[in-house]
Amino acid sequence: METIDRDDAEHTDGRFARGARRRSEIIEATLAVVTRDGAAGVTHRTVAKQAGITTSLSTYYFTTLDDLLVAALTSVADVYTARIRQIIDTPGDKLTGLAELIAETAGVGRERALAERELATLAARRPALRPVARRWRENVAELCATLTDDPVAVAGVVAASDGLCTAILLDNGPADPGYLRAVLHRALHH
Amino acid sequence: METIDRDDAEHTDGRFARGARRRSEIIEATLAVVTRDGAAGVTHRTVAKQAGITTSLSTYYFTTLDDLLVAALTSVADVYTARIRQIIDTPGDKLTGLAELIAETAGVGRERALAERELATLAARRPALRPVARRWRENVAELCATLTDDPVAVAGVVAASDGLCTAILLDNGPADPGYLRAVLHRALHH
DNA sequence: TCGCTAGTTGTACGATGGTTCTAATTGAAC
DNA sequence: GTTCAATTAGAACCATCGTACAACTAGCGA
């Protein structure tokens, strides 16, 4: 997505730009592998095959497997961050927006959410990754802060959002945004 | 913990009893490995080394790695089930009991909770494991059902319990049972 | 005592994976 | 055009892993 630290948007194509594109292609392929086979299925070889490149090219861009997983987790967290920020910045019922975002977990967003969760579990063992994994919660908290002043209420909604996602992933059924909103609303207002 | 389906508590020692003991020793070793290196670190060899036995003995009791992981997840879920059931059956403030159980996640129970979470993530990709992974939520729901009739409130507390555990694991700091109880209490009562 | 089976060991085969290395190719700068 | 670093390909090394297998030990029932 972004250019590497090499130069500043001087070349839109060419060596450096292609390198940056490759990099994001590899991250995308990594997420596809995580989606299909889980984090355990991520190897330089499987990622390379998924991306249609050679194995050594994967190691060229991400020296160690860990580098690759960290980059993938960061990337997926960025997507969620953007979604939440969009809800915050959009006028209207923010709670409904949050409920719909959570409901997405059951549909199109299921695989992404699964990948995100799988990678977040990895984060528990890597202190360097914790801030990234925490971002989702902090963003939800920020959203809640626009709706109430009660810190306990904020904590409750953040925890409930997380738990609802888990429930949806485990139940594997369709999620009713209206119901989700009701639970969140109840957690928010006394 | 239990005897295998062979015979019924006829021998407290000897071949069969020792076999059952070995089995639970191996499961214990598996959880220790998950705690130390994560679920990805679980191999027949690492588990065997942790248990102080030979590799082939691990495969003797658990033919495939999957069998081993399933057994380990089931075992850890059993512990939590027992804890919750104890809270339900104990007279007194059940919400405080639940809050204290959650707070444990930050202390002595941290590694166990981490292992449980790691294994639960695995469950998302193995339908056969989902019922086991769901038990925790069902038990919390059962506990809540003794406190309220509102299904939305129950869903809120269950989700909040789960989310609070996640938060504690991520924040890696001490958890205040009183604060946890306040969040749960707020989720429960309107 | 003796056969049987659970428990146990050591070893090995085939496969996979992380990582490294070398050589080729290509685009950018001059 | 020449030079140089970024990029790509191909192969290989070495470790580990899942699993299988044959042999050996010892408790259990008769």
CATH H-level, domain A73-188: superfamily: Tetracycline Repressor, domain 2 (1.10.357.10)
Using the predicted structure, report yes or no on whether residue A3 has a pLDDT greater than 60: no
Chain-centroid distance, C-alpha A103: 15
Query: Using CA atoms in the order B74, B171, A169, A1, what is the torsion angle rounded to 10 degrees?
Result: -130
CATH topology of domain B76-188: Tetracycline Repressor; domain 2 (1.10.357)
Using the predicted structure, report yes or no on whether residue A172 has a pLDDT greater than 50: yes
Confidence of residue A14 (pLDDT cuts 50, 70, 90): low
Check residue A115 and give its pLDDT: 81
Tell me where in chain B the CATH 1.10.10.60 domain(s) lie: 1-63
Q: How far B164 CA lies from chain A's nearest CA (Å)?
A: 5
| Per-residue pLDDT tens over the stretch A84-113 | 999 999 999 999 999 999 999 888 888 888
Check residue A161 and give its pLDDT: 96
In what helix (H) or strand (E) does residue A186 lie, and over which residues does it extend?
helix A177-188
Using the predicted structure, report yes or no on whether residue A8 has a pLDDT greater than 90: no
Q: How far B42 CA lies from chain A's nearest CA (Å)?
A: 11
CB A90 within 8 A of CB A149: no
Please name which of A151, A118, A114 lies closest in space to residue A40, comparing C-alpha atoms.
Answer: A118
CA distance B69 to A74: 28
Check residue B56 and give its pLDDT: 96
Tell me where in chain B the CATH 1.10.357.10 domain(s) lie: 76-188
Nucleotide nearest to B11 (CA to C1'): D28
B133 Cβ neighbours under 8 A, 6+ residues apart: A170, B73, B77, B119, B120, B123, B124
CA distance A167 to A159: 12
* Residue contact A186–B190, C-beta within 8 A: yes
Kindly state the average pLDDT of the residues B13-26.
86
Taking CA A125 as the corner, what is the angle to CA A123 and CA A131, rounded to the nearest 5 degrees? 40
Average pLDDT value for chain A = 86
Check residue A147 and give its pLDDT: 94
Candidates A112, A148, A170, A190: best to mutate against B (most CBs of B within 10 A) is A170
Of B153, B159, B170, Cβ closest to residue A130:
B170
Tell me if the domain spanning A1-63 has CATH number 1.10.10.60.
yes
CB B69 within 8 A of CB B30: yes
The encoded tokens of residue B66 equal: 């999957």
Kindly state the average pLDDT of the residues A167-182.
90
Kindly state the average pLDDT of the residues A138-155.
94
Confidence of residue A12 (pLDDT cuts 50, 70, 90): low
Q: How far A6 CA lies from chain B's nearest CA (Å)?
A: 34
Strand D within 7 A of A114 CB: no
Tell me where in chain A the CATH 1.10.357.10 domain(s) lie: 73-188
| Per-residue pLDDT tens over the stretch B129-150 | 788 888 889 999 999 999 999 9
End-to-end CA distance of chain B: 43
Using the predicted structure, report yes or no on whether residue A144 has a pLDDT greater than 90: yes
| Per-residue pLDDT tens over the stretch B91-114 | 999 999 999 999 998 888 888 888
Using the predicted structure, report yes or no on whether residue B115 has a pLDDT greater than 90: no
Chain A residue with minimum CA distance to B40: A40
